[in-house]
Amino acid sequence: MHDQLLRLDGISKSFPGVRALSDVHLDLRAGEVLALVGENGAGKSTLMKVLAGIHQQDTGTIHIDGQPVDIDGPKTAQSLGISIIHQEFSLMPDLTIAENIYIGREPHTGFGMLVDDRRLNRRAADLFERLGIDLDPRTKVGDLLVAQQQVVEIAKALSFDARVLIMDEPTAALTESETENLFRLIRDLRDQGTGVIYISHRLAELKEISDRITVLRDGEYIDTLQTGEADLRHVISLMVGRQISGEAGPTRSTSPEQPTVLEVSGLKRGSRIKDVSFDLKQGEILGFAGLMGAGRTEVARVICGADRADRGHILLRGRPVKIKTPTDAARLRIGYLSEDRKRLGLMLDQDVNFNILASSLSDYVNPFGLIRDKPGRLTSERYVESLKIKTPSIRQQTKALSGGNQQKVIIAKWLAKNCDILIFDEPTRGIDVGAKEEIYELLNLLADEGKSIIMISSELPEVLRMAHRIVVMCEGRVTGVLDGAEADQEMVMDYATRSGSHGGIATS
């Protein structure tokens, strides 16, 4: 039995109008990975922010090594050996990777007046070698992909040699191989006596990496289970207070009789998109699968006008189109929901009403250039009701909503624009199990209503469940187009690793 490293007793925390935590308990042992699970809004992140000194609890006590401690700020938490990897990135895009990791702790030269860049980069390189990370410390963070930025966040947290390491959705933007590297590192840390609190909505990960599972619901402690003895369906029922099936496959296959709404042929852009061709039918959910770097997001960005193709053709309802900007795509009723919804999809400081109308404001402007408030308000309220967006009102700031409800706001934005082709890039990233179910139901409903959907996802079970057909990519090429009803994970991974393929598309 490992020694108890950390204990939280009776932790409560309220914000104006919201009781986020109520009498929550948690304990962590040295050399243990404790999974902390619950739906968005269950209080997981708030509890961890209390532990990390970002928030102070209203009531309750925190003990480390059996001694009570008062964590009055992040520096105090770090001095006690507590480090947190936040779900939301806290990196500065204009600084290099090494500068981000060691900000405030840089080695100096010249009588302490100048930062010693050589030693700084060497220190970061040594850290990366220990962690198995393949990145150049001199690269600016703003030039990194989302997954690479997440890796930098992990390295930054681990650079403090923490005794208690909090990981909030650390694999949300990682590939399978990157996740395996992270798990290897976590096991090494556990063997060295580090206690890890691991927050994830990917419940399948918990069986592989955690020793125990603590469940929160609605800001309250529910139960703690031994992972080896826990049934994940039971864990889900504890999280959401109801049973969720979550296993149904696509409701139907696409038919040759369904009209083709989008045709892409011979698409190329730099080295990331080498030769991509596919078609999308009306009322279809077309899944895009592949490993990180396969070019899926890059294809979506070209279709929505965020990037320009070097060559290739796009036909929309049988007619050739030139999509040079996102405005062109929106005019053609193509909507894009980015994987980084908080940076590229939403204006978080604006209210729900503004975000829903953001792409269609011109529809609510009178001849004098003034916005007609009432029609816009009615549109927003209609989508809040039909999409079941949980918000006190359409005047609520969007940043106050849960991840699942923020995702619904983006969907409402493109529906308000009357888009009939919707591209979802990682639609359930960072969203809890219950909210995922609601997004899945919504996607199926949209497809049933005749909307055509491209769904890019790194979670194969999600693609297999939702997609009528699956386009598999590897290193900028389409290597397979599979029937969603017949495909399985092994088949998709086979095509996703066919790097030598040059357009020999196999259709199952």
Domains 4-240 and 245-333+420-508 are alike in CATH topology: yes
pLDDT at site 503: 40
Query: Which of 67-71, 247-251, 324-328, 429-433 has the weakest average pLDDT?
Result: 247-251
Q: Torsions phi, psi of 85, nearest 5?
A: -105, 110
Fold (topology level) of 4-240: Rossmann fold (3.40.50)
pLDDT at site 85: 83
Give me the percent of the chain exceeding a pLDDT of 90: 43
Q: How confident is the model at residue 308 (pLDDT cuts 50, 70, 90)?
A: very high
Model pLDDT for residues 156-176, shown as the tens digit of each residue = 888 887 899 998 888 766 767
Residue with the bigger pLDDT between 293 and 303: it is: 303
| CA–CA dist 88, 399 (Å, integer) | 12
pLDDT at site 341: 59
Q: How confident is the model at residue 40 (pLDDT cuts 50, 70, 90)?
A: low
pLDDT at site 277: 96
| CA–CA dist 444, 467 (Å, integer) | 10
Tally helices (H) and strands (E) across the chain.
16, 23
Q: Is the pLDDT of residue 431 over 80?
A: no
**CA nearest to 176, candidates 211, 213, 204, 216:** 204
- CATH of the structural domain 245-333+420-508, one choice from 3.10.105.10, 3.90.25.10, 3.40.50.620, 3.40.50.300: 3.40.50.300
CB-based contacts of 246, cutoff 8 Å, min separation 6: 236, 433, 437, 465
Indicate whether this model's pTM tops 0.75.
no
CA within 13 Å, CB half, 114 = 6
| CA–CA dist 7, 22 (Å, integer) | 16
| CA–CA dist 338, 417 (Å, integer) | 16
Query: Six-digit token pair at 180?
Result: 């395996």
Q: Give how far the C-alpha of residue 32 lies from the chain's centroid of Cα atoms, to the nearest Å.
A: 25
Q: How confident is the model at residue 312 (pLDDT cuts 50, 70, 90)?
A: very high
Q: Is the pLDDT of residue 506 over 50?
A: no
Cβ burial of 94 (10 Å; 0-12, 13-18, 19+) is exposed
Strand partners, 18: 15
Q: In the chain, what are the domain boundaries?
A: 4-240, 245-333+420-508, 340-419
CB-based contacts of 118, cutoff 8 Å, min separation 6: none
Model pLDDT for residues 213-265, shown as the tens digit of each residue = 999 988 999 999 999 998 887 887 888 775 544 455 554 556 667 899 999 99
pLDDT at site 501: 44
Q: Torsions phi, psi of 301, nearest 5?
A: -65, -35
Instruction: Tell me the pLDDT of the chain averaged across its residues.
Output: 85
pLDDT at site 29: 96
Q: What is the DSSP letter of 45?
A: H
pLDDT at site 2: 67
